[in-house]
């Protein structure tokens, strides 16, 4: 069984500063994928970034980067130059491949709330 742990229930950061959101995972699979999603107060889940277990380089998408440390089983999200619009819930998730029809599902962490202060 897979497990995603996000230990920080909430964080505060000043606008324009960088912030790291922690995520650790537990799996016995060799091939897996890790996702980060953002959920603003409006409720929609927004995909931010993806890291495959075999990817040698850390994933980056604009101001988002993923600090992937495979041996430590951590996949921390780094947001550079925080903006007020970054205030939201953030969820780490792991892709679990299923036997049925080659499908997959995501296992989510409990999420953490980021507040960016002006």
Sites of contact with other proteins (CB under 8 A):
33, 35, 37, 42-47, 50, 52, 91, 93, 98, 100-111
Q: What angle do CA 1, 103, 71 make, to 5 degrees?
A: 45
Report the nearest approach of other proteins to the CB of residue 50 (Å). 5
CB of 62 to other proteins, least distance (A): 16
What is the total residue count of the chain?
118
Nearer to other proteins, 16 or 105 (CB): 105
Name the burial class of residue 91, with classes exposed (0-12), middle (13-18) and buried (19+) by CB atoms within 10 angstroms of its CB: buried
Tell me the closest approach of the beta carbon of residue 92 to other proteins, in angstroms.
9
């Amino acid at each position: 069984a897979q497990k995603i742990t996000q230990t920080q229930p909430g964080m505060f950061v000043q606008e324009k500063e960088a912030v790291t959101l922690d995520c650790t995972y537990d799996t016995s699979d060799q091939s897996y994928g890790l996702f980060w999603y953002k959920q603003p107060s409006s409720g929609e889940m927004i995909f931010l970034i993806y890291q495959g277990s075999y990817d040698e380089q850390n994933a980056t998408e604009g101001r988002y980067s993923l600090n992937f440390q495979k041996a430590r089983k951590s996949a921390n999200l780094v947001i550079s130059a925080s903006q007020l619009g970054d205030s939201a819930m953030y969820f780490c998730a792991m892709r679990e491949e299923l036997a049925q029809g080659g499908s997959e599902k995501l296992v989510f962490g409990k999420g953490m709330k980021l507040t960016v202060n002006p």
